[in-house]
Amino acid sequence: MDTPSWAEATLIERAQAQDETAFDQIVRLYADRIYNYVRRMVGNPQDAEDITQEVFIRAYQGLPSFDGRASFSTWLYRIATNLCIDHRRRQSRRVQTVPYHRDESDEDEGDWEFPDTSQPSALDVLLNRELQAVVDEAIDALSPKLKTVLLLYDVEGLSYEQIAQALRIPMGTVKSRLFAAREQIRRAVEAYQRGEAK
């Protein structure tokens, strides 16, 4: 669902001129990407929906100050990351926190879809729900810093440069965090292969 950059730029210009129809289109354009990212960051579907909504409200309010130095999607991911981190802080401050547990019913929600991939070996992986669960669990266990970079690069497909812009960290830090995150996932996958998984 790639939109040409000129079309995106036109939409943004119109939205900056307070054209709400244009902003509606922007929301439709990015809703799935931002929701997927936020959902994986926070885990809970209800919180993910609320945070995604807040991302777009903040974006709308901040449109006059958006200067196009970073791409619009990078800017949205930046807002989303900050809101997810705030959410996590609030969660950790609560005395009585009920952790969210993914259960079977979540799998039946029907709000997710598999990416279209032509790699033959990917099909095996897609069919291997166990491995997927191992990877999901390993991602959940990552620290927010590592998780953010891993999701933005491996799941959302941002470049090192875009991630560096979105998180305002040096590109070297992006690379080292990505390596650390991936190695942590790889260790979990290896443990699963050796039959050490829970």
Binding site for other proteins (CB under 8 A): 18, 20, 23-24, 27-28, 31-32, 34-36, 39-40, 45, 48-49, 52-53, 56-57, 60-65, 111-115, 117, 119, 121-122, 125-126, 131-132, 135-136, 150, 154-155, 179, 182, 185-186, 189-190, 193
Distances (CA, A) of 100 to 39, 42, 103, 188: 12, 9, 9, 21
- Nearer to other proteins by Cβ, of 166 and 181: the residue is 181
- Using alpha carbons only, give the angle 92, 88, 28 rounded to the nearest 5 degrees: 155
Per-residue burial over 164-196, b = 16 or more CB atoms within 10 Å of its CB, e = otherwise: bbbbeeeeeebeebbeebbebbeebeeebeeee
Distance CA 37, CA 156 (A): 7
Min dist. Cβ of residue 98 to other proteins (A): 21
Min dist. Cβ of residue 8 to other proteins (A): 17
Min dist. Cβ of residue 22 to other proteins (A): 12
Min dist. Cβ of residue 26 to other proteins (A): 10
Distance CA 100, CA 84 (A): 15
- Nearer to other proteins by Cβ, of 96 and 119: the residue is 119
Min dist. Cβ of residue 48 to other proteins (A): 8
- Nearer to other proteins by Cβ, of 6 and 112: the residue is 112
Nearest CA to 191 among 150, 137, 153?
A: 137
- Nearer to other proteins by Cβ, of 48 and 167: the residue is 48
Min dist. Cβ of residue 90 to other proteins (A): 20
Nearest CA to 19 among 10, 28, 7?
A: 10
Distances (CA, A) of 136 to 130, 132, 186: 10, 6, 12
Identity of residue 10: T
- Nearer to other proteins by Cβ, of 9 and 133: the residue is 133
- Nearer to other proteins by Cβ, of 7 and 122: the residue is 122
Helix 20-42 with 45-62: angle, nearest 10 deg: 140
